[in-house]
Copies of this chain bind each other. A is one copy, B any other.
Amino acid sequence: MSSASTATISRLSTLDATFDQHLGALLDWEGVSDSAVQSRVDEILSDVKQRGDAAVIEATNRFDRLSVEGMEELRLKPEQLKQAFDNLPAEQRDALASAAERIRLYHERQKPTSWQYEEADGTVLGQQVTALDRAGIYVPGGKAAYPSSVLMNAIPAHVAGVREIVMVVPTPDGVVNELVLAAAHLAGVDYVFTIGGAQAIAAMAYGTETVPRVDKIVGPGNIYVATAKRAVFGQVGIDMIAGPSEILVVSDGQTDPDWLAMDLFSQAEHDEDAQAILVSWDSAHLDAVAASIERLLPTLDREGIVRESLSRRGALILCQDKADAIAMINRIAPEHLELSVEAPDTWLGEVRHAGAIFMGRYTAEALGDYCAGPNHVLPTSGTARFSSPLGVYDFQKRSSIIHCSSEGASELGKVASVLARGESLTAHARSAEYRIRN
């Protein structure tokens, strides 16, 4: 195909003999931590588990280049959060509040209800939904500190009915992000500690004298954070371990090429590992988007990151038709899917795997990233095959309910007795048999 070696972004066609191989290589991403990272993380976890606050303080001073003496210096008071919110320019404060309200409204729709049903003999079966007692939110510090992520993580926890929300955010060299604090205020976070890394994960998973133990930890982080989350999984719940962000845009050729170029850039500007792929069956349209990319690239604030990301992991792919595009969607299982096509509704039933689906030419991913309402924490690297956007359900759990009537227990007891004896679990059988009526 038309692959100019000087172009910023690869051009592929699904008809290329090496297409499958090439696509596989582009998609390949493994966030494996090496054994050096693993053993450093293990050390930090066990140190915090044993020594609590003292270990957290030491690690924080070392890694974030601070010199605090007590945990009280690593805790932000509610007044500080409110102050940060009040100090924002009105435009930012209003935008943040508007986003928070839309996120809340969407997530309210996710709330499941408990249910029960009664059988003819009076036996009742059901499912009771309850919230976690305490959730922990990890917010990265430094350049990747996003107030929108605070809203996206904390609001679903609130809507779910979580009693207490603990947030950790490192402040390397003491640099505090006021927008992040403002978002924490708006989202109703109960505790904020300015700690990060594996030590913050350990503090929330095990609890310390100061940091309350949480039931589940959510939020993205670097390789130390991801490794620590994997290690404490089971002690506490965790969300998915996030890979780099990615988008798959499908265009029918009728969307403004500049719009599509900017949509790809908005993904690529996250970091050099981010992935932006455009698919269309209109070859001339792909040429036009490629031209828009070259023309608009020099106007970007993050031109360097975008160039690197597009050249390493981006692609413009020529497919044959709609069916071919849908096969690609389901193979990639993208975090973000933009259906920049006429009548996107007719595509929906065939999309089996995608984190979030942005439908039509007007629905830029950026709208969903900030304020449309659905969550922007989404399954990456093909994990949409088996996982879901962060949501209210991540902060709740279900208990099964079984309430047998005397008659019901007698009938079920006969079945259970046979099966338990088939498994040689005779105390199970006898426990059931006690409930069989004579």
Q: Which residues of A contact B (CB under 8 A)?
A: 31, 91-92, 95-96, 98-99, 106, 109-110, 112, 115, 117, 123-125, 127-128, 130, 132-133, 146-148, 179, 215-216, 230, 233-234, 236-237, 240-241, 256, 258-259, 262-263, 265-266, 268-270, 300-302, 306, 344-345, 348, 351-360, 362-375, 378-379, 383-389, 391, 393, 397-406, 408-409, 412-416, 418-420, 422-432, 434-435
How distant is A344 from chain B, measured CB to nearest CB, in Å? 7
Interface of A, helix, strand, loop or mixed by DSSP: mixed
18 more A-B residue pairs beyond the given contacts A363-B403, A367-B416, with a C-beta to C-beta distance below 8 A: A92-B418, A95-B419, A109-B115, A109-B117, A110-B127, A128-B348, A133-B352, A233-B233, A258-B434, A265-B430, A268-B427, A356-B400, A356-B402, A357-B400, A362-B404, A366-B432, A370-B420, A379-B397
A366 touches B416 (CB 8 A): yes
This chain: copies in complex: 2
Give the Cβ gap from A179 to chain B, nearest Cβ, in Å: 6
* Cβ contacts A to B, 11 pairs, < 8 Å: A92-B419, A133-B385, A265-B427, A266-B425, A269-B425, A269-B428, A302-B427, A358-B402, A359-B403, A364-B413, A366-B420
The residues of B that contact A404 with a CB separation of less than 8 Å are 359-360, 362-363, 367, 372
Q: How far is the CB of A415 from chain B (nearest CB, A)?
A: 4
Chain B nearest Cβ from A426, distance in angstroms: 5
Q: What separation, in Å, do the CA atoms of A386 and B163 have in the docked complex? A: 13
Distance of A405 Cα from B360 Cα, bound (Å): 8
Q: How far in angstroms is the closest Cβ of chain B from A86?
A: 16
> Which one of B95, B132, B270, B415 contacts A418 once the chains associate, using CB atoms below 8 Å?
B95
